[in-house]
Structure 1
Amino acid sequence: MTILVTGATGGYGSAALEELKTLVPQDEIFALARSEEKAATLREKGFQVRIASYDDSESLEQAFTGVDRLLFVSGSEVGSRKPQHQHIIDAAKKTGVSYIAYTSFNKADTSTSPLAAEHAYTEAAIIESGISHTFLRNNWYLENELPLIQTALKTGKFVHAGGEGKAGWTLRSELAKLGARAVSGKFDFPAVLEVGNPLMTYQQLAAAVASATGTELEVVDADVATASQFLQDNAGMPQKVADMVAGSQSIVKSGSLAVEPSDIEKYLGRPFLTVEESVQQLLEK
């Protein structure tokens, strides 16, 4: 059996590789990188590397040759994913990949969130390909909230634009461990998993941060412009970046991430780290 992880130099892909080598022999694992330069660190860690770009069908076909199972980490370029992902699926079908675990979005096939459309397209294309699969419909990375958390700890004010929206915040590395188990072939995974921690509001997230750090925090429910300005003023963040961070909180506010998770313990072998534990781990890095 051979397994290939795409996006292997990113946070999710690299964490998945480390977990995978605890589950299967390392000589069965391949990592996909866009260039030899990016591949260097992976090679130093003993991984076999194949070079390809999501934009280059021919390179993907070469990279997937001889691969049985694929951990398909979605592309990072929102707006470009449909053609890129189609290249990957076409190459997987052409080279005889037997299984794909794909990092998707909660309720991708029915969600009205703008973020869901490219994932819905990809899920449909994988189904059409006839390749056996698991859609890992991941909720919100806790890492997305790191600027908010750090600024709150600095100022004593947890200023957010998420309203009463809920999310299942989870560390990227925890999600990657689940992905590694799915693609390993050692466990029986379903075709679809709604993935994340139990849902909570930003008010509850702030309480978890306060508990994890022993810091008293004042929670301020603001609009996007106010939350962005707070980051600019107190974290020295450029407006464009602050607008993006605060704007992402409106995705939570919309309710599109308020999706109850599947039974994660059944597939991971344990529950995800709690949000409080995850905050502690995130701040230690």
Structure 2
Amino acid sequence: MRYLVTGASGGFGGYALDWLLKLAPKEDVVGLIRDPGKAGDIEAKGAEARIGDYGDIDSLKRAFESVDRLLFISGVPGNRQQEHANVIDAAEECGISFIAYTSFAHADLVHNMLSEDHVFTEARIVQSGIAHTFLRNNWYLENETTLFKHALKTGQLVYMAGEATVGWALKREYAEAAARVILAGNQPEVMELSADPTRYSELAQALEAATGKAIDAVDMDEAQFIEALRDEVPEQAIQGMIGIQQLIAHGDLEVKSDDFVLALGHSLVGLEDAVKETLGSQHLL
């Protein structure tokens, strides 16, 4: 059984590759990368490195030869639908028997700036007839690093989401779940991967406990949010953060599910410890 992880030199893909190398024979693990210069890093871990680009279907067909199961990590926005179609078409032509795809929370129920490409990709995978599991990831705790930095500087965790909840967990936990699913190959068609629903006010409490610093949760309107961050964050990045805050406020990340623990086979890291780990990885502690 050969397992291939796309985006193997990235953060998520690197974590997933590491887990597969722990859980499966190393000779069965393949990492897909775009940059040939990174092949040595993949091979040093013990995996086979193959070169392929989502925008080049012929490279994907070469890379997918002799692969049985594919961990398909979603690409970056832009030309994502065509690129994802290339991955699926290449997988179908090469006879891949199972795809685990990193999708978005409640992808079939929400309509936001992040969900459309995932809805398209899920539909194409279904159309391909390849057995699959959609890993509908909630939100990486690491995505809040900018707000954490601001909070540690000012004593205020600012947000715009009101009482809406998010299923924050560590990126490495989502990646471990993905690796375990690709190894099992017989998980449900859809897995909503979400930690316990948590408000920003509760996240502020975890940040305070993790650092020993007084942190207030401050729910703001858009103008206040921009003003709070304008000296630390580029305007374009603030606009992206506002979009995320709006979809959270709409309830798009409010998920209650046991699928994450089912996929992992163990409990998730507690929120305070997860915050400590995130801050440590960003050298903020």
TM-score, with normalisation over the residues of structure 2? Answer: 0.94
Q: Which runs of 5 or more structure 2 residues have no equivalent in the other structure?
A: none
Partner of 1:116: 115
Partner of 2:204: 206
In structure 1, give the amino acid aligned to 2:218.
V
1:102-141 equivalence runs, <5 A: 102-141=101-140
Secondary structure (helix, strand or coil) at the match of 2:108 reads coil
1:92-103 equivalence runs, <5 A: 92-103=91-102
8 Å Cα contact 1:158/1:217 also seen in 2: yes
Count residues in correspondence.
Answer: 281
CA distance in 1, matches of 2:130, 2:186: 16
Percent sequence identity over aligned pairs = 42
Over residues 201-260 of structure 1, what are the superposed CA-to-partner deviations in whole Å (9 max), with x where a residue is unaligned?
Answer: 111111111122222112211123322332233xx3222223323432222111111121
Partner of 2:266: 270
Please report the RMSD computed on the Cα atoms of aligned residues, expressed in angstroms.
1.4
- Please say if 1:14 is aligned against 2:10: no
- Please say if 1:194 is aligned against 2:183: no
CA distance in 1, matches of 2:199, 2:236: 25
Q: Which runs of 5 or more structure 1 residues have no equivalent in the other structure?
A: none
1:1-285 equivalence runs, <5 A: 1-76=1-76, 78-185=77-184, 188-233=186-231, 236-285=232-281
8 Å Cα contact 2:26/2:47 also seen in 1: yes
CA distance in 1, matches of 2:253, 2:51: 34
8 Å Cα contact 1:167/1:258 also seen in 2: yes
Secondary structure (helix, strand or coil) at the match of 2:218 reads strand
Shift of 1:91: 0.3
8 Å Cα contact 1:224/1:243 also seen in 2: no
TM-score, with normalisation over the residues of structure 1? Answer: 0.94
CA distance in 2, matches of 1:175, 1:264: 8
8 Å Cα contact 2:194/2:259 also seen in 1: no
Secondary structure (helix, strand or coil) at the match of 2:22 reads coil
Over residues 167-187 of structure 1, what are the superposed CA-to-partner deviations in whole Å (9 max), with x where a residue is unaligned?
Answer: 1011111100000001113x7
Shift of 1:2: 0.3
CA distance in 2, matches of 1:54, 1:254: 32
Secondary structure (helix, strand or coil) at the match of 1:159 reads strand
CA distance in 1, matches of 2:90, 2:127: 14
Which segment is superposed worse, 44-53 or 92-101? 44-53
Shift of 1:188: 4.0
In structure 1, give the amino acid aligned to 2:17.
L
